[in-house]
Structure 1
Amino acid sequence: MGSQNIDSGSLIVLHCIIHQEALCAKTINFQHVTNIPVKAVNFIWSRGLNHREFQQSMADIDAEYSDVKYFCEVMWLSKAGMLKRAYDLLEEIELFLDMKGDAIPELRDKEWRCDLAILVDITDCLSALNVRLQGKDQLINEMFSLIKGFQIKLRVWESQIRNQNPAHFPTLKNHDTSNLQYQKYGDKLAVLREEFSERFGDLKKHSQAIEVFASPFSVDVTAIPEDIQMEIIELQCNDELRKKFDESSVYQFYKKHVSVTVYPKLSAHARKK
């Protein structure tokens, strides 16, 4: 592991992680899929009468859901909830549009439905990641761990899909998988994986600095910059502080237990996170 410069005197500057994740999500580019449910949902919501009639039709057949979700383009990840609801109500939406004389042929197409199914699964995963990234009091090391974990998941998903294994795509598994275009889906996941790698490259560059902050008692002293090595050695040999670290959150540990006088460089480093 090569040493990275840990400058305790300046802040680490990163692009907004949550915004970068949302931009990654936009690269999936399943426009031929998303345009159809967006068109259908917008038709239902476009007039009050259409919307009320659709809600009533859901009530009449005792559907699991009573309505479809409106899609806001500004909040891209709102698409995840809209797509899932649209998928679950495909039959009802198709029936309603037929009744209104505004049928959409794609809703009956098996390949298009499979494309929608995997898109539902992918956007659901992206949305779940987005929610976790917005958790309260998130520190940079926690967000970095979430991004690293998701990138590993993408590699696993891509490999499995290319090997005709949709194990982690529950919506897609509901379909006849004998004629699935696995390589096409693998290519989509590859694009998403590459986008994550590119957009979070600057975060990866700071991985060593983040490790020093998040795991000061287990970091390899010989692999970190010399200017902070002596403080880390002293810290790692302090059994009382090790116990405090195990019992506290990372934030509370640095705030309450790491002396600025004894560990000036480590304290300054922690303040950047």
Structure 2
Amino acid sequence: MSDMPGNTCSLQRVQSQPSLATKHGNYASKEETDADHHDLLYHSRVRWLSLGKVFQRVWELKEEIGAFLKLKGKSDEFTELSDKNWLCDFAFAVDIFSHLNELNVKLQGKDQYVHDMYTNVKAFKSKLIFFSRQISDKVFTHFATLATQKETIQNVKKYSKSLDDLHAEFCRRFSDVEKIDQSLQLVACPLSQNPETAPVEVQLELMDLQSDLS
């Protein structure tokens, strides 16, 4: 995920513009371009929104942001908006942070046990492998923002590698939980477990449970 810091810094430069953050009335180009953002929260800060949603908002408003900076004579402060390679990287960031946000929401759900949370993590790890393979084949089905830039993407391998690196990081961070995965599966889905491979102290009870038709 080596491209993320640069995108974050660029986002911070947009937020550092007082006019963009507070002067709702000055942003005339918003209505002129029929943008579907009639009441933007200009006072919002990154800490109020998830990073993925902030990235998404900046992406949706990149033309308006560019026009506004040009109007203020500050286009040179955000030259990335005209850099096709940077836009591809940013589009990738928008999509991957969107997927991360979805995982985050699932992990924050109420009344979840460890096995529920780890099931979501395992599913996400599988998705990362799937995403990496698809992007390597230039299939952007689950990266809708990046798909809009597919004609200008010069190197899909770096995005595939970023996904592989993210998968490796998830494996590292959840390595301790992985060690008890069998026990978690036993708790989560006892009816689908093989009693012969289950811990000896629960084998007979597991057989009783699986044979109970009541």
Residues in 1 aligned to 2:6 and 2:178: alpha-carbon distance in whole angstroms: 34
Q: Does 1:59 align with 2:31?
A: yes
* SS of aligned partner of 1:177: coil
Please list the CA deviations of residues 26-77 of structure 1 after superposition, one character each: whole Å capped at 9, or x if unmatched.
Answer: x66511122112211331467634x4422x432343311133664425x7x7
Q: Does 1:230 align with 2:204?
A: yes
TM-score normalised by structure 1 residue count: 0.71
Superposed displacement of residue 173, structure 1: 0.7
Aligned match of 1:32? 6
1:84-233 → structure 2 map (5 Å cutoff): 84-103=56-75, 104-177=78-151, 179-233=153-207
Residues in 2 aligned to 1:112 and 1:83: alpha-carbon distance in whole angstroms: 13
How large is the RMSD of aligned CA atoms in angstroms?
Answer: 2.1
- The answer on whether the counterparts of 1:68 and 1:82 sit within 8 Å (CA) in structure 2 is no
Please list the CA deviations of residues 196-232 of structure 1 after superposition, one character each: whole Å capped at 9, or x if unmatched.
Answer: 1111111211111111111112211111111111211
Amino acid at match of 2:90: L
- The answer on whether the counterparts of 1:28 and 1:191 sit within 8 Å (CA) in structure 2 is no
How many residues were matched structurally?
210
- The answer on whether the counterparts of 1:71 and 1:79 sit within 8 Å (CA) in structure 2 is no
TM-score normalised by structure 2 residue count: 0.89
Q: Which runs of 5+ in 2 are unaligned?
A: none
State the identity as a percent: 32
Superposed displacement of residue 163, structure 1: 2.4
Higher Cα radius of gyration: 1
- CA separation of 1:134/1:209 partners in 2, compared to 1, >3 Å: closer, same or farther? same
Tell which has more relative contact order, 1 or 2 (C-alpha 8 A, sep 6+): 1
98-107 or 83-92: which moved more?
A: 98-107
